[in-house]
Amino acid sequence: MTFGKSSGSRSLRLPAAFLTWLFLSGSAPMSMAQAAPPSAREGSPGWTVEQLLESLAKNQLAEVRFEETASSDLLTQPLKTQGILRFIPPTGLEKHITAPYDERYLVEGDTVLVESKTKGTNRTLSLHDYPALRGFIEAFRSTLANDVITLRRWYSVTLQGEPQRWVLVLRPLDNDVRALVESIRFSGERERVSRIEIRAPDGDRSVMVIATGAP
């Protein structure tokens, strides 16, 4: 999946590669949306975004396994990765890719650690210096942490379906984030997220399937 250009090349593998894109391009600070519109709802009457996020926060596992498939016109075939996702309340988030290479992306508060055991490299950055990255991360962190206020500050939020089978659609409000991300769709059943799809404006796509149960 593609998220921008730098030195004539585009980055792949989302959401992990989004960090790489920022490192290469030196993304400039962006202005936050002044006002966030209320959530749209197309699902069951009386069922709200607030209720869904509260349910997710109460019933989430500390870590889950995932398989992610990235599709891009730069790839001859889809790129498949697998690994572990961890949420460390209230602001910690980790994505550890274990195959076909070893990379770890750890968010703790306003700090991001990028570590590649395969390449033998690591890098730390502050979200204060990369506000576009903060906007992208908050799609995941705010959803898992039941932080509706922050989520709506960055995204237009639409809830579809019903509690038994639902889709939460996020569309960026900020122009800089919107240039990179068209939409992020969380799909699930009751209090469990089973699928996360990220679409870019150029048509590239990343689909993450989350396994049931702990690793």
Tens-digit pLDDT profile for residues 176-193: 888 888 999 999 998 899
pLDDT of residue 42: 52
Cα separation values, 69 from 19, 43, 186, Å: 17, 28, 15
Tens-digit pLDDT profile for residues 1-24: 322 333 333 333 344 444 433 333
pLDDT of residue 45: 62
Query: How would you classify the pairing of strands 155-162 and 40-41?
Result: parallel
User: Given this structure, which CATH class describes domain 9-26+36-210?
Assistant: mainly beta
Every domain of the chain and the residues it spans:
9-26+36-210
pLDDT of residue 27: 33
Residues of the chain with pLDDT under 70: 1-45, 212-215
CB 89 within 8 A of CB 108: no
pLDDT of residue 75: 81
pLDDT of residue 33: 37
Cis peptide before 172 (omega within 30 of 0): no
